[in-house]
A and B are shown apart, each in its own frame.
Chain A
């Protein structure tokens, strides 16, 4: 039995938050003006141009039997196109915080290509690994916009996670 991977999103106030398994594909998450784990309501909670979305706190979840999972790398494979006024910021955090529209946690430019080395930490360590079922640390994403952003649906963005399994 190999490792089974799924995305998980944590949302809600720190201390009473909820972890929700999203799956590996399909309707995972969107950037919107709400903190929940439902992808399908971004038209109800649009991001006003010039403001930020709520940040999204994702984790990689690994279950099943494996010796080791490590070298976890995350990047944005496809940026919005056009991306005028749209910037996805990110960071990796080793402690959960209540999502907000502030830019405290998603504070760095997200890699747009395979970073080449582990950039998603595990238990706070960027050389960390899982040797039993567990989670990576939190991948925090946020859409930050300017008033120059066009109205309506953005194009699709694509995100990738790569890991080594032994």
Chain B
């Protein structure tokens, strides 16, 4: 926020029409605030509050908020399973592994596992997206995945061409310009000090030395898109 000085400001009208107009704008803004907050949360965006440190999330995500904050504000974590039965988890205690720690020669499958549960009668309720390293096929457990995505992900990798793992976090951080503590508007703001956390995962494989690849984008609410 900024403040402007001008010599051209007109005095506010004090008529009933002005009051009506202000009420109309205020009510509209309240509705828009509620509606956009709901839609942002449904999209998996987390709203943070600097002063309190609280994260606003849907009630369905609340049970996982502690883990979310513990594991670097991420909704999905990876787990590598090796051919010999060994595993490597993204987090071991308070230590986070980089994906380059994964031994791709020993890799059997790489799984992205949601912190949150999906409403399902399956015994496993987390959303799990698995890259089968030997075939290059990507499979899904839980979540709503379109047929187009399933078809795209069910094509095997080309034989006899070495592939490399594609695993990135795409992180978006948005913030407001703040309001001055001396502003006469400050007492009327209820949620000015917000920021937005929006994470996505770029997941798949690429044939080494070429642009041939199979990559999906996983959104923080579990929705999946075909990658670029």
Instruction: Tell me the A residues contacting B by CB distance below 8 Å.
Output: 1-2, 5, 7, 23-32, 39-44, 46-49, 53, 65-67, 71, 77-78, 143, 145, 147-166
Contact = CB atoms under 8 A, between A and B. Distances in A.
Interface stretch (B62-70, B127-135, B172-180): B172-180
Given A1-B95, A2-B96, A151 B6 contact: yes
A166 B1 contact: no
Interface string B1-38: 11111101100000000000000000000000000000
A31 B98 contact: no
B140 interface: no
B59 interface: no
B6 A150 contact: yes
A77 B174 CA distance: 8
Interface residues of B, number: 41
Given A151-B9, A153-B185, A166-B99, A49 B4 contact: yes
Contact of A152 (B3, B50, B175): B3
Contacts of A30: 1-2, 177-178, 180
A157 B176 contact: yes
Given A24-B175, A48-B4, 8 more contacts: A49-B4, A67-B99, A78-B176, A145-B4, A151-B9, A153-B3, A158-B175, A166-B167
A32 B2 contact: yes
